[in-house]
Amino acid sequence: MAQPKQEWGTRLGVILAVSGSAVGLGNFLRFPGNAAQNGGGAFMIPYFCALLLLGIPIGWAEWTIGRYGGRKGFHSAPGVMGVIGRGAAARYLGVLGVLIPLVVYFYYVIIEAWCLGYTYYYLTQGGLGIDSSQAVADQVKASTGFFTSFTGQAANGSLFQGRHAGVFVFWLVTFALNVYYVYRGLSKGIEEFCKWAMPAMAVCGILVLVRVLTLGTPDPGHPEQNVVSGLAFMWNPDFASLGNFKTWLAAAGQIFFSLSVGFGVIINYASYMKRKDDVVLSGLTASATNEFFEVALGGMITLTAAIVFLGEPLTRANTGGTFSTGFFAVPVVFAHMPAGRFFGAIWFFMLFLAAITSSLSMLQPAKAFFEEALGIGRGPSTALLTVVCLAGNLFVLYFSQGLVALDTLDFWVGSFMIFIVAAAQIIYFGWVFGMERGMAEAHEGAHMRIPRVYRFIIKYVSPLYLIVVFVGFCLQAVPGYVRTVLGDAARGIPPDHDAQLAWLVIVAVMAGLFAVTVVGSRRWRARGLDLDGLRGPDDQVRAA
């Protein structure tokens, strides 16, 4: 029996939902770390270049092909990319657009639970027990020790026992919330949640930002550690750093991951839009909302506060990664800040809201894929998705030693594969679907026109930019992760078994999704759907 097609309730709802999918932990944790490690203000120049040449054009392409695919009766990346790419190869490549958000969810909801747990500790215990009278290095060490114990890094299975088994409870709460809202559907679930969560996030962020900007110079013994110095660190560029390719690579990567392009999420969300619903201004608005949260809140709060309380050398030393920024350095800042317990609770609750708006978007593509490929309803698809995610979550929770399993999934799926999907989408859009046809589709119902220069950018600049970034990314990061999985006998490095198990999880999920795609392809063809995009855009199709 055909399921009634879901639709967004309002245009604002879809913008907030897409913005929510993009606004996540990377905005508040990854961005400040990247900026601190790459020259502060110098990082912002290549960052905004990447936004204009990579993030926004790929986003427009995804919004456009998603809405077009929805008209053809498809709401997941395999079906949509098969139509745009005109063939089975594109359809099976589109499986990555389901695999990526699904596997990322396996570990993302665990980090979500950490944020909820930290919120709880700040509300009930006044923080993490950091003694602000100690040397700052000792405070960072104490913060790091708490995080290491809290996340069960000492040994596999430690989260199921001991004093930090409470993480399991926080995970159950977050997992149940995600399943509940996804089960309720697009309009009554995801849209309803994002309509209040996004404004709540903004209020929390602005409260903390106002507090940070009014700190002045809290330590008279270090007059150089003040709010003005913090803002200067973020916005005054050191032009010498612009000659460093690593800075440009980090900036492009940050924009790329921050806007959720290549995830398969925007395609899914846009597929539920009506034919005359605007995608150009909506896409730009979603990107602008993401940038507000990332730059105005994530960057200005974290970097300014860190400079004020830690100073520039310690800020650079302790904000080198996602976890070191949010879970090592920031708690030390709140330990020094007046009313730090209150603002710490607000900060981590904001991170929790940011994480859950993103994790909801990760579940929806797989749910839609199961429904349209297997011909099942909302209840069975949610049940199947729950079983798969439960197994994935328990894997990450159990294999917590050194967070190797989590890190392996994050690199190969949450970083490496995203480049592949985004490159395929922009190339299919500009070269297979066709630029003229693509622009005509994008402008249908649009409240603004895409500047003509973006025809050249989308067809030539964005793919080339993406390939250069991907090659640089591979040269810089891939060898180390390959050694983690396979080992290196010449260097005496044994393979890491947790990393190998993580790879088996990726392969198993991919095999399962390929099998579902085979079943779905047969079903779609039997129903007369335009599987390979060979019919005109105005053909009428039956709902999948």
**pTM for the whole thing?**
0.92
Sign of CA dihedral 222, 223, 226, 231: negative
pLDDT surpassing 70 at residue 164: no
Q: How many CA atoms lie within 13 A of 516 on its CB side?
A: 29
CA 133 to chain centre: 37
The radius of gyration computed from the CA coordinates of the chain, to the nearest angstrom, equals 23
The pLDDT assigned to 539 comes to 46
The pLDDT assigned to 386 comes to 96
Q: Retrieve residue 366's tokens.
A: 């797989």
Whether residue 334 is contained in a domain is answered as yes
Confidence of residue 320 (pLDDT cuts 50, 70, 90): low
pLDDT surpassing 70 at residue 66: yes
- For the ranges 152-161, 163-172, 466-475, 491-500, which has the lowest average pLDDT? 163-172
Mean pLDDT value across the chain: 89
CA–CA separation, 73 and 30 (whole Å): 37
What residue spans of 451-496 are helical by DSSP H? 453-456, 462-486
Read off the DSSP letter of residue 51.
I
**Burial per residue of 26-47, b for 16 or more beta-carbon CB atoms within 10 angstroms, e otherwise:** bbbbbbbbbbbbbbbbbbbbbb
Give the pLDDT confidence of 401-417 residue by residue, as tens digits.
999 999 999 999 988 99
The pLDDT assigned to 16 comes to 87
Whether residue 501 is contained in a domain is answered as yes
Whether residue 172 is contained in a domain is answered as yes
- CB atoms under 10 Å from CB of 336, counted, come to 18
Count of domains observed in the chain:
1
pLDDT surpassing 80 at residue 330: yes
From the list 330, 323, 326, 325, the residue with the least C-alpha distance to 309 is 330
Of residues 178 and 11, more confidence is placed in 178
- For the ranges 90-99, 330-339, 459-468, 497-506, which has the lowest average pLDDT? 330-339
Give the pLDDT confidence of 190-223 residue by residue, as tens digits.
899 999 999 999 999 999 999 999 988 887 888 8
Burial (Cβ within 10 Å: 0-12, 13-18, ≥19) of residue 25: buried
Whether residue 537 is contained in a domain is answered as no
Q: What is the dihedral of CA 5, 10, 11, 17, to 10 degrees?
A: -80
Percent of the chain predicted with pLDDT > 90: 56
CA–CA separation, 238 and 357 (whole Å): 35
pLDDT surpassing 70 at residue 458: yes
Q: What is the dihedral of CA 244, 245, 248, 250, to 10 degrees?
A: -100
Confidence of residue 126 (pLDDT cuts 50, 70, 90): confident
pLDDT surpassing 60 at residue 379: yes
CA–CA separation, 205 and 464 (whole Å): 36
> Which residues have a Cβ under 8 Å from the Cβ of 344 and sit 6 or more positions away?
118, 122, 127, 331, 334, 337
Read off the DSSP letter of residue 450.
P
Percent of the chain predicted with pLDDT > 70: 95
**Burial per residue of 222-252, b for 16 or more beta-carbon CB atoms within 10 angstroms, e otherwise:** eeebbbebbbebbeeeeeebeeeeebbbbbb
From the list 266, 287, 277, 362, the residue with the least C-alpha distance to 63 is 266
From the list 306, 136, 292, 289, the residue with the least C-alpha distance to 234 is 306
Whether residue 270 is contained in a domain is answered as no
Q: Which residue has the tokens 């929510």?
A: 20
Read off the DSSP letter of residue 488.
B
Whether residue 168 is contained in a domain is answered as yes
From the list 152, 117, 102, the residue with the least C-alpha distance to 413 is 102
- Residue-range definition of the domain harbouring residue 511: 13-51+108-257+283-354+366-411+455-526
pLDDT surpassing 50 at residue 265: yes
Whether residue 540 is contained in a domain is answered as no
The pLDDT assigned to 56 comes to 95
- For 127, the 3-state DSSP assignment is coil
CA–CA separation, 540 and 544 (whole Å): 12
Q: Contact at 8 Å (CB) between 97 and 263?
A: yes
- For the ranges 116-120, 246-250, 281-285, 294-298, which has the lowest average pLDDT? 246-250
Whether residue 416 is contained in a domain is answered as no
Give the pLDDT confidence of 10-22 residue by residue, as tens digits.
888 888 888 888 8
Q: Which residue has the tokens 């999985």?
A: 485
CA–CA separation, 220 and 239 (whole Å): 31
Confidence of residue 390 (pLDDT cuts 50, 70, 90): very high
